[in-house]
Amino acid sequence: MHVLPQVNPGAESDKRQTFLVIIVGRDVVEEFLGRLEGQGYLADRLELPMLDQLQATHITGDGAWVYPESHGPNSQALVAWWYGGVFQNLALVTLEGGPNRIASLKDQLVQMTWAGELEGWLNGPPQWHLVGDAGDEWHSALRQAMDQPVEVVPPLPAQQLAALTAKRAAQAEGGNNLLPPEFGVRYQQQFVDRLWGRGLLAALAVYGICLAIYFVALTVFTHLTSRVETRAAAISQTYTNSIQLKAMLGVLKQREALKFAALDCWEAVAENMPTGLTLDTLNFNDGRTLSLRGTAPIEQVTAVTDFYDNLRKWKKDNQLLFDTSASEGPRTSVGPGGTAVNWSFELDLRNQK
């Protein structure tokens, strides 16, 4: 149902309002929806574009406007009657095939004219208008049937007609269309289910791609790891031998260093030991500590301290041999008889800590 506008509002038309009611058989609607479903299209509304063609037609006065809907044998057209600025009637006429087509069309139009006169709204001869092309078969048929001129009104292009239909559908109420409500509910549920299905398929596709990338990366890294492990296994024995040789070289270097360190200690003791002191033991402990023990006359106790200090300051190639931070000093004790003292001290090697 659609409310049609008034063309020339006046005293008479102000009291009346024209409604256009479209009724279609359910079997026709379901057949049409079935064809749409076969094409993968789910409709949310069903509209007739002829309604927008009717509204878009510029009405210039009283008369009848013919809107062809089809061509060929038994073609049909809508006839809209406007009188007094009001849309009075809408009827369907058929242009049959055969030799009596003009006579049949004239009979249909004359019956509509009589009906308008009986209803009282047809108060003068109608002016005929064809919303179509001048070369259309309907134009020739109308001129022959009514034996008078027929004004041709260009119809709206398909693009503009579709735009008007879409605009009207967007502004209309949701239930005011030819689509049965149960079809709309089912189509909406199918649309939602399709969205969920596509979303799930997209998620599965992304998961499959990620999984494929993971396995490809795993294969590549496994291959690289195998190559590295193979190379490591090939050089493991060489590496082990190298580590052993390095350890043996370290031991040899350490022994050589200790040998020369012991000789340096012996040289330092020989050069700095005062006359009169007796050296009983000389221990070179772990290559780090030099321990000296001996005796001295009791009157040469100070010589033991000088001996200790001279060893601490002794240099080898201008480098101190012993650690000068040691502050313990020598240890002395008076021996039996009181004529000699026992002395001992330790020195840490500077470079062997």
Instruction: Walk along the chain (353 residues) and give the pLDDT tens digit of each residue.
Output: 777 766 665 545 456 677 888 888 999 989 999 998 899 888 888 877 778 888 888 888 889 999 988 666 678 889 999 888 788 888 889 988 778 888 999 999 999 999 999 988 898 888 999 998 877 788 888 889 888 899 998 888 888 888 888 888 787 776 678 888 888 888 888 888 989 999 999 999 999 999 999 999 999 999 999 999 888 888 888 888 888 888 888 777 777 767 777 788 888 888 888 888 888 898 877 777 888 888 888 888 888 888 888 888 888 888 887 877 766 788 888 878 778 888 888 888 876 54
Tokens coding 182: 């149960």
Tokens coding 108: 């249909």
Q: pTM here?
A: 0.52
19 - beta bridge partners? 3
CATH 3.30.1360 in the chain, residue ranges: 264-352
Residue with tokens 């009169």: 276
Tell me which residue of 292, 353, 298 sits closest to 321, measured CA to CA: 353
Which of the four CATH numbers 3.30.1360, 1.10.20, 3.10.20, 3.20.20 does domain 264-352 have?
A: 3.30.1360
Residues present in the chain in total:
353
E strands within 127-230?
Answer: 128-131, 150-153
Which stretch of DSSP H or E encloses residue 224?
Answer: helix 181-272
State the greatest distance between any 2 C-alpha atoms of the chain, in Å, as a whole number: 172
Long-range contacts (CB closer than 8 Å, 24 or more residues apart) made by 179-183: 179/29, 179/33, 179/43, 179/44, 179/45, 179/46, 180/26, 180/29, 180/30, 183/33, 183/43
CA distance 213 to 225: 18
C-alpha 307 chain-centroid distance: 85
